[in-house]
Amino acid sequence: MRNNWLLWSLLSAAFAGATAVLAKVGVEGISSNLAFAIRTTVVLLFAWIIVTATESPLSLAFIPKKAWIFLLLSGIATGLSWICYFRALQIGFASKVDPVNKLSVLFAIALAALFLHEPVSWPQWIGGALIAGGAILLACF
């Protein structure tokens, strides 16, 4: 199970789907920014519990500068994404917000091709178009 990326990806998708519904209920009656802060605190605590249980304390000392920079940038992007996501959930339907949020797949493919020089195959382009079409259908109708 450790190397099964597909299983881990499906579990991630299932938890992400549950997140949308749980967050939609949780954001009712409070500021979307406060909801974001609460969720982020839970994620932070959960992450450090996992690291403490699975990593050597010396691991932090050996993180390269490049990793720090890109992980910090990734964290900023995650925070901005979550702020926008919680605001969208507060004012929209979870069943419409989440499909639009999944357009992140298209951004990831494009950015990976542009900056990481990953090849993009015709099946990926077609799949991306289907994701875009599905998001539009789910969000607009």
Does residue 106 belong to any structural domain of this protein? Answer: no
Quote the percentage of the chain above a pLDDT of 90: 82
- The pLDDT score that the predictor gives to residue 1 is 60
Who has greater pLDDT, 60 or 103?
Answer: 103
- The pLDDT score that the predictor gives to residue 78 is 93
Does residue 50 belong to any structural domain of this protein? Answer: yes
pLDDT, mean over the chain: 92
Stretch 27-51: mean pLDDT: 95
Query: Residue 77 is part of which domain span?
Result: 5-101
Does residue 141 belong to any structural domain of this protein? Answer: no
Does residue 56 belong to any structural domain of this protein? Answer: yes
Does residue 123 belong to any structural domain of this protein? Answer: no
- Alpha-carbon gap, residue 100 to 23, rounded angstroms: 16
Does residue 135 belong to any structural domain of this protein? Answer: no
- The pLDDT score that the predictor gives to residue 141 is 87
Does residue 55 belong to any structural domain of this protein? Answer: yes
Does residue 89 belong to any structural domain of this protein? Answer: yes
Question: 2 pLDDT exceeds 80?
Answer: no
Give the number of domains in the chain.
1
Long-range contacts of 63-69 (CB under 8 A, 24+ apart): none
Q: Taking the mean position of all CA atoms in its chain, how far away is CA 100?
A: 13
Note the pLDDT tens digit of each residue in 79-122. 999 999 999 999 999 999 999 999 999 999 999 999 999 999 99
